[in-house]
Amino acid sequence: MCGITGWIDWRKDLTTSSSILENMTETLTHRGPDASGTWISHHCAFGHRRLSVMDPQNGAQPMIRREGDRLYSIVYNGELYNAVELRKELEHRGHRFSSTCDTEVLLASFVEWGRSCVDRLNGIFAFAAWDQQEQTVFLARDRLGVKPLFYSLLSGVFLFGSEPKAILAHPDMKVEVGAEGLAEVFAIGPARTPGHGIYRNLAELKPGHYMVYDRSGLTVRPYWKLENRPHTENVEETAAYIRELLADTARRQLVSDVPVCTLLSGGLDSSALTTLAANHYRDSGKGTLDTYSVDYADNDKHFIENAFQPNSDAPWIKRMTDYLGTEHHYVEFDTPELVESLRSVVLARDMPGMADVDGSLYLFCREIKNNATVALSGEAADEIFGGYPWFHREDALNANTFPWSLSLPQRAGILARDFADWIKPLEYVHSRYEQALAEVPRLAGETQQENRMREMSYLNITRFMPTLLDRKDRMSMAVGLEVRVPFCDHRLVEYVWNIPWDIKTAGEREKGILRKALVGVLPEDVLARKKSPYPKTHNPSYSAAVKERALDILSDSSSPLLPFVDAGKLRAMAAPGAEAAEFPWFGQLMSGPQMFAYLIQVDTWLREYKVSIR
């Protein structure tokens, strides 16, 4: 994985602006600690930071390719899992290669097929390719949005980067946020509306889209979307095909020239991938697979069972490591580390995020990076297969809003009245929810329940899953760790999208068809384990610490947070024994303590980035 950035300017000679390009590139050093490169022509400037995974000795970027009198340049962040097949086809078409890296395959694909090259790619990617003769830059992002790509168009200056910080480093870009951006932060956040960049004049290329910028302007087009097709296979045939797809996906994503490990919670998703990986390692003679898990000091003493977290991970991790014989690494953090990480993860995201849920992943990835460069994660299975509790609860199904934000009125209630009147949080979220529903592809003949479950699947895949993919990318790449997400293989997503709900819930269980697909792969007790999400701390010391820090901010007259919140109400909620602070803030893991932590992050973001409100 890597970090990419650059810009196009038709008005001046960019060869005189190398220092600006270098500054933009250096903001992404964490994404690519192994090497740095820049390339500048009169009107195009590319910067790249490299994390070496495939062919470390070659594959430096920006990469240049000449075909006759035509020159092409590319910067690329990602991995192509079908690079071997593409390379063979391109060689058959006359292309020659000087490395084994997928960057060269991607550039040759662009040279050969132009914009349609994206239709042939299986992988996670964000890239920009420059055609010197046509004076055109082509940018694309993978189908599910695993890899990020932001951009800005300001008075004829086109900027792009893997993260907002690269674009914000350009002198033409001002750090400003308007009412809509603030509504994203205070009402939608830590999720974001697809394509929204929070900052004024900053956008994100949506998943499954490409864009072309030339002298006539900017064109943005989708090249992939979820499409409805009749599902003709029975339960057994469906399960068999899912098992086949998962095995193929895991095999492809284990290819690497550097150490690979898996993240193991003992749940269905991570256990499945770890088993497939361990079997592949054994069969190919690669030795013992390394696995990692995360937990928190004294969590065993303070864990309280609830609908979202029915059991703790520790016994299940041991069950799987004993079953597979992996080399397991237990990673544990305490409250002070989590609190201190709140600032680091804001800098990683360039905006407020998932509080300690981000922080623990950041610290976790930092530990893994000591021994590995690539990790496999079970992210996205719940969105694709319908595993979250809100797929199965009537209050969420009938809420007429995003099911992970059922406490929006309470969230709006902590805002200062004038500010709430300006951003209109309830109306803003409702409009974004209606926008999402309007996009849902419908299938004729479906029942009302089938139609609602299709809506829920669409909301989760296009609205909730990107939040977790953003989190996974920023927290891992902040420490130079590449995390791959096999459940985001577009072939699997396309297939499961059209599985009827009664087959998805085979055996009357959440993710029932996935469980059936893994019969014979996982132990029966692991197959039957109830859904349990990424662990969070239950230690009351964390709640006390973030409340104390939030109260300090509220007492600081210089705090940039104060104009946005009702300080009196927050002080009351932070008082000892105040149960009102325990309402669900966002999703499964963010509740009362995370609300205070999120506001701490907002304060940090406004201060560190010197955000101007316009």
| Element holding 291 (H helix, E strand) | strand 290-296
Cβ atoms of residues 390 and 505 within 8 Å: no
**CA distance to 49, 54, 72, 584, per residue, from 1 (Å):** 9, 10, 21, 34
Spatial neighbors of 570 by CB under 8 A, at least 6 apart, are 414, 550, 554, 596, 599
**The one-letter amino acid at 175:** V
Q: Where are the alpha helices (DSSP H) in 79-184?
A: 83-92, 102-113, 164-168, 179-183
Cβ atoms of residues 459 and 342 within 8 Å: no
| Element holding 177 (H helix, E strand) | strand 176-177
Cα 109 to chain centroid distance, Å, stands at: 26
Which residue in this structure is represented by tokens 């955000």? 611
Distance between CA atoms of 129 and 145, rounded to whole angstroms? 18
Give the residue among 402, 391, 420 at the shortest CA–CA distance from 183.
Answer: 420
Phi, psi (rounded to 5 degrees) for 212: -125, 130
| Element holding 74 (H helix, E strand) | strand 70-80
Angle of helix 592-608 relative to helix 567-574, nearest 10 degrees?
Answer: 140
- What is the DSSP track for 195-260? TB-SSTT-EEPPTTEEEEEETTEEEEEE------------HHHHHHHHHHHHHHHHHHHT--SS-E
Cβ atoms of residues 2 and 449 within 8 Å: no
Give the residue among 372, 377, 305 at the shortest CA–CA distance from 532.
Answer: 305
Active-site residue, from 2, 117, 261, 488? 2
Residue 261 bears catalytic tag: no
**CA distance to 76, 142, 165, 167, per residue, from 160 (Å):** 12, 16, 10, 6
Distance between CA atoms of 67 and 130, rounded to whole angstroms? 13
Angle of helix 335-349 relative to helix 465-477, nearest 10 degrees?
Answer: 100
Q: What angle do CA 587, 591, 596 make, to 5 degrees?
A: 125
Q: What six digits make up the tokens of 410?
A: 């309470």
For residue 328, the SS3 value is strand
Q: What six digits make up the tokens of 438?
A: 């309007």
**Catalytic center residues:** 2
